[in-house]
Structures are given as C-alpha cells and as structure tokens.
C-alpha cells in the first residue's frame, strides 16, 4: 500500500522527501527499520489503475488481519505484479536525495472545455480495517495546487480516548522551501514545521551546471518544528540540519544530519554513507546535555545482486558456416542488475541487534527479521518474524 501511495506521489509530482519530517529518512531506514514479529501474509492487487486492495493476515500469538482499500482519482500504473516489482522501489534503504524539481505553475493544471474548467484535483482515499481489534484507519489526500497538498488521516478505535483521533496536515512545498502545518484532535496539538534548502532555487531554473569538480557537491537544508498541545499545555521544539550529496556528486554519496531539541537538551547526529554500490553504512549518536545520557547505534545495509552467469561464448553457427570468427562484441551494456535481496543489520550500545533480510522468491516478496538481545544470554532472540507479500 505504501508502494501504491508513493506511486501516487510520483504521479502527482509531489516530492515527498522535501519535508522536515523526512530530514532523517535515510538514518531511519538504515537504523530504525521494523523487524517483523510472528508470521504475516499479505495479498494485494491493483485491480484497476484507480483501485487497489490488500488483505493481510498475521499471527502473533493470535491471528489478526486487516483489509484495506485504496482509491486514487489519478490512474496509477506502477508495476504491480510482485514478480516485476523492483525491490529498490519497495525497500527503503539509503535515500539518495534528488535535485529539486520545479513545480508546475498552477495554470498548467487548468483544463478548459467549452469555457469551463473541467480539471479535477487529484485525490487519494484509503481505508484499512483491522479485524479483531475493530480499528479503522482512513486517509484522505488531496492535491490542492501543484504546490499544496492536504492530508487528513483518522483512526477510529474504541480503546482510544474520544474513540479516535484525526490529524490534519497541510503541506506547502515550492521546492526551495517547504512549510507544513498540522492539527491533531488528540490533545489539540498544533504544529508547524518548515524546511529551507540552501542553494539554487529551482523556480528560477538551473542557472549553473552541476559543479562536478567540487569535492562535495550537495545540498544543505535546515529546518525547524514547533508543537503545542493546547489542551495539555505541553509543547516541543526541534531544529535540524542536513547535508547530503546530490546524484551528480562523483565521490562517495553521504548524508549527515544534526538535530537539536533545545527544550530537552537532546542532540542527535547521524552520518550515513554509501560505501559501495551494494553497501551503505550509518551511525547515529544521541546525547542529552541535561541527563548526560548517550546512545550509539550502528547499522548497515547490504544489497545482494543476482550474479549473472557469464554466457559461455560459443561460435555461432553462422560464423562457423562462414569460416570466420564471431565479431568481438562491444562490451555489452551492463544490464541493470537484479536485486536478490537486502540484508539490514543494526546494533546499539546495549547489544540489541536487529536483522532483516528482504528479498524476492519467485512471486513472493518476503521479509525475514529478528531482533536479538545479547544481554540476555538465556533468551537472546526477542522476536523472529517472517512476512510474505504477493500482489497481482
């Protein structure tokens, strides 16, 4: 479902990464991945370009499951067969941030027919029902203009106070900067966050070619967020900055972030580097200046590519008939390698280890994971899980 949602963002030209909440997406993907628990199976289908369904069943002690439906007013045509899905699109790993794109002008969306505007706003509707718990999730996403998006998400659950919560989020993204404001009915939480990208402004067009000769060619972004719970009179503030190399950088891609929480005295730094074509490393260090607590986390991601068996060169029959050698082929264009799987591992200072293996077996996407606590020698395996996904 996330895959389909991302397809919607792509189709509607929305840059999901240009948001303050996605500042540390790379580190989160490498360090805070979720390890599955128990056994899970989900079957999804994109029955039409506008409609997708998914059914999931899982067993963690007892069996539970969920039904979800998605409707998009914008036709989506991602590769939906699980056999054809590229793992890179599904697995969140090291995120290479892209050059900022220029948004269309709002008049480019306008469609006129017979003197009337007939263009419609792209909309995504999504609902998910968790069965034994009777929890309902709903999402309403609407692109207001090429630079604005409105997202309304709600959860209905009898166990929650007031029976559920609603979160409204408005995003305004012009590329150079992005501003978001949100409101949650739970505690009356109001929040504002913003991100500013230093460097060239995409709205003015690319004025200079990528300076690939620089040692680092990247982008620095800074942002802040403020929350205030109007009902419980509490709040939170944080500042953050990120430097990341852009695709044009011809050195080792890296991403470094620094976030500060001045109220709680928390400093967090992450550093992620794509050390090779198949390897990404990440470290995170947290420190609290008030309590002197610190935390260190290391993680890595290893992509396993399908080793192509080299074709044995045999003289072709045609060549034999003509009493000549085959022409020496030019170095074949390296076909995009197929990803066999991804191994993710993380370890923190308490010797808690998380392992995740994601891959594809025939038509199935599988996720195999375990979390291990080395401090508890008697029972080191805290959780083991396997998830299978099939989609058509």
Partner 1 sequence: MAFNFNWSPLTADAEFYKRAQEMLTTALNKSPKPPIIVDDILVNELNLGTTPPELEILEIGDLAEDRFRGIFKMCYSGDAFLTLKTRVQANPLNTYLFSKPSFTSPMPLAASSGLTIPLQITLSEIKLSAFIILVFSRQKGLTLVFRNDPLESLKVSSTFDSIPFVRDYLQKEIEMQLRTLMMDELPAIIHRLSLRLWCPEYGPKEEEEAVNIENKEKEEVAVDPFSSPPQDAVDARGNVLDANEITSLSLDGGSEIHSLFSQKNLLRLGALNDSHRTLSLFTPSIRDAVFRAWAGPTERGDSVGTSTPVTPSLLRSHSYTPSSSTTYTFSRNSDDGHGHMPSRPSLVSMHSATTGLSLGSGRHSRSHLRKKKNRVVNLRKSTTTDDSASESGQSEASAAVVSEPAFPTQVEEEPEDNIITPPRSPSGKVRFRTSSIDLGDSPRKSRISTPIRSALSSKPMPEEAVLEPAPVIGNMEPTAPIFSREHRPSMVSANPVSEKKPASASVSQPAKHNPFLAPAPVLTEPSPGGIIEQAWVMKMAGEIARRNHDEKAARGGFWASQDTREDSPPPAYEPKAL
Binding positions for partner 1, rule: CB under 8 A: 20-21, 23-24, 135, 137, 139, 153-155, 157, 160, 165-167, 169, 182, 184, 186-187, 189, 191, 193, 223, 225-227, 229, 232, 234-240, 259-261, 263-266, 268, 286, 288, 290-291, 293
Question: From CA 150, how far away is CA 171, in angstroms rounded?
Answer: 6
Measured from the CB atom, the residue of 34 and 214 that comes closer to partner 1 is 34
Q: How far is the CB of 238 from partner 1 (least distance, A)?
A: 4
Measured from the CB atom, the residue of 123 and 185 that comes closer to partner 1 is 185
Q: Which helix H or strand E contains 73, and what residues bound it?
A: none
Measured from the CB atom, the residue of 341 and 354 that comes closer to partner 1 is 354
Nearest to 195 by CA among 181, 184, 180: 180
Measured from the CB atom, the residue of 17 and 225 that comes closer to partner 1 is 225
Question: From CA 371, how far away is CA 374, in angstroms rounded?
Answer: 10
Q: How far is the CB of 2 from partner 1 (least distance, A)?
A: 12
**Cβ neighbours of residue 52 closer than 8 Å, sequence gap 6 or more:** 1, 4, 44, 45, 46, 69, 70, 72, 76, 80
Nearest to 214 by CA among 180, 245, 168: 245
Q: How far is the CB of 94 from partner 1 (least distance, A)?
A: 19
Q: How far is the CB of 332 from partner 1 (least distance, A)?
A: 45
Tell me whether strands 234-245 and 254-261 are parallel, antiparallel or unpaired. antiparallel
Q: How far is the CB of 171 from partner 1 (least distance, A)?
A: 12
Percentages helix, strand, coil for the chain, rounded to the nearest 5? 10, 50, 40
- The DSSP letter of residue 120 is -
Measured from the CB atom, the residue of 155 and 298 that comes closer to partner 1 is 155
Which two structure tokens, joined as six digits, stand for 107?
């008049």
Judged by DSSP in three states, 300 sits in strand
Question: From CA 293, how far away is CA 283, in angstroms rounded?
Answer: 17
Reported residue count of the chain is 392
Q: How far is the CB of 29 from partner 1 (least distance, A)?
A: 14
Measured from the CB atom, the residue of 139 and 282 that comes closer to partner 1 is 139
Residue 87 and residue 302 in contact, taking contact as beta carbons nearer than 8 Å:
no
Q: How far is the CB of 381 from partner 1 (least distance, A)?
A: 22
Measured from the CB atom, the residue of 35 and 238 that comes closer to partner 1 is 238
């Amino acid at each position: 479902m996330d895959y389909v949602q991302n397809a919607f963002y792509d189709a509607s030209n929305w840059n999901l990464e240009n948001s303050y909440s996605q500042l540390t997406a790379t580190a989160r993907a490498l360090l805070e991945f979720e390890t599955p628990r128990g056994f899970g199976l989900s079957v999804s289908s994109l029955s039409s370009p506008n409609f997708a369904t998914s059914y999931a069943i899982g067993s963690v002690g007892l069996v539970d499951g969920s039904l979800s439906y998605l409707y998009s007013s914008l036709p989506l045509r991602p590769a939906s067969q699980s056999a054809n899905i590229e793992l890179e699109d599904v697995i969140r790993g090291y995120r290479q941030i892209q050059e900022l794109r220029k948004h269309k002008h709002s008049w480019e969306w306008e469609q006129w027919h017979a003197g009337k505007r007939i263009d419609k706003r792209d909309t995504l509707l999504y609902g998910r029902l968790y069965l034994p718990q009777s929890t309902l999730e709903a999402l309403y996403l609407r692109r207001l203009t090429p630079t604005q998006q409105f997202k309304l998400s709600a959860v209905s659950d009898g166990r929650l106070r007031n029976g559920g919560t609603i979160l409204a989020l408005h995003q305004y993204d012009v590329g150079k900067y992005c501003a978001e404001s949100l409101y949650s009915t739970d505690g009356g939480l109001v929040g504002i966050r913003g991100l500013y990208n230093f460097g060239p402004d995409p709205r003015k067009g690319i004025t200079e070619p990528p300076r690939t000769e620089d040692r680092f060619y990247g982008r620095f972004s800074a942002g802040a967020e403020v929350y205030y719970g109007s009902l419980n009179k509490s709040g939170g503030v944080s500042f953050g900055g990120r430097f990341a190399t852009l695709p044009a950088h011809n050195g080792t891609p890296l991403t470094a972030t620094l976030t500060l929480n001045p109220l709680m005295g928390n400093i967090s730094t992450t550093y992620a580097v794509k050390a090779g074509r198949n390897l990404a490393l990440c470290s995170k260090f947290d420190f609290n200046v008030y309590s002197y607590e610190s935390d260190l986390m290391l993680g890595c991601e290893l992509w396993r590519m399908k080793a192509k068996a080299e074709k044995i060169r045999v003289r072709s029959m045609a060549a034999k008939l003509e009493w000549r050698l085959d022409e020496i082929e030019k170095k074949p264009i390296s076909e995009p390698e197929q990803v066999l799987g991804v191994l993710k591992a993380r370890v923190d200072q308490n010797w808690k280890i998380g392992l995740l293996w994601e891959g594809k077996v025939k038509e199935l996407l599988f996720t195999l994971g375990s979390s291990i606590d080395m401090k508890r020698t008697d029972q080191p395996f805290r959780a083991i899980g396997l998830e299978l996904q099939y989609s058509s």
